[in-house]
Homo-oligomer: A and B are copies of this chain.
Amino acid sequence: MGIAERRERERELQQKMRRKQILDAAKRLFYEKGFSATTIEDIAQEAELSSAAIYLYFKNKDDLYASLNLQLLEYLSQRLDGLYREEGLSSEEKLETLKELLYDVFDFDPLILINLFHLQASDGLKNLSQERTKQLNKLAARCLRSLAKIFEQGIAEGRFVEYNPIALGDIIWIVFTGAVLWEESKRMMNPRKDYLKQTLGLAIDIFSRGIKAA
């Protein structure tokens, strides 16, 4: 039984590694060539597998794509939740920290993040299965809720102007996605330095000043 168990565990590990292998390959390719221009065959080659093998790990192309994004959204959601629950920081400090956090998340995996926003921004969602869409939405909603909560706090503490905290959360999200996509789009034309950190930092600074109670 011990043996069977070990085998079982090994198999699962193996499976997870294969999945990761495929996801990594896909991530790179989707980022480089875009979703529709990336073929399963491409991914298979990059992952050193046959294209048929992909289907052992993912139901289909869309599923693969969504899996990719869920991963990061989960991470982001956790980080935001953590920030919101952080006891030792004032709302203003939290906002300051948010700047770092968002850039951190981007830095953690820029490719996947851009993929995520592409998904949000384009065809992607329309061809996804209901179930996947639900999952993605649930996570995105959780992220936004965490953001809103931070503003709620600040308002309650009298440090922020009394705007609708949900709207404020949305705006942060908008700035984040907009900035990532925009800087990415600029980089596509002219792959120079990466201005995201600066742009995002400035945007959030201005935003902070803009909501600070007089």
Among A14-32, those with CB < 8 Å from B are: none
Q: List residues of chain B with CB within 8 A of the CB of A118.
A: 121-123
Whether B199 and A126, one on each chain, are in contact in the complex, defined by CB atoms closer than 8 angstroms, is no
Whether B181 and A199, one on each chain, are in contact in the complex, defined by CB atoms closer than 8 angstroms, is no
Q: How far is the CA of A210 from the CA of B203 in the complex (A)?
A: 9
Interface size in chain A (residues, C-beta < 8 A): 45
Q: Among A35, A118, A189, find the residue whose CB has the most chain B CB atoms closer than 10 A.
A: A189
Interface string of A174-193 (1 = CB under 8 A from B): 11111101100100110000
- Name A's B-contacting residues (CB within 8 A): 33-37, 117-118, 120-127, 133, 137, 163-164, 167, 170-171, 173-179, 181-182, 185, 188-189, 198-199, 202-203, 205-211
CB closest residue in chain B, given A30:
B123
Whether A206 and B199, one on each chain, are in contact in the complex, defined by CB atoms closer than 8 angstroms, is no
Q: A177-B178, A199-B171 are in contact. Are A185 and B121 (CB under 8 A)?
A: yes
Give which listed residue, B164, B174, B199, contacts A179 with CB less than 8 A.
B174
Whether A120 and B185, one on each chain, are in contact in the complex, defined by CB atoms closer than 8 angstroms, is yes
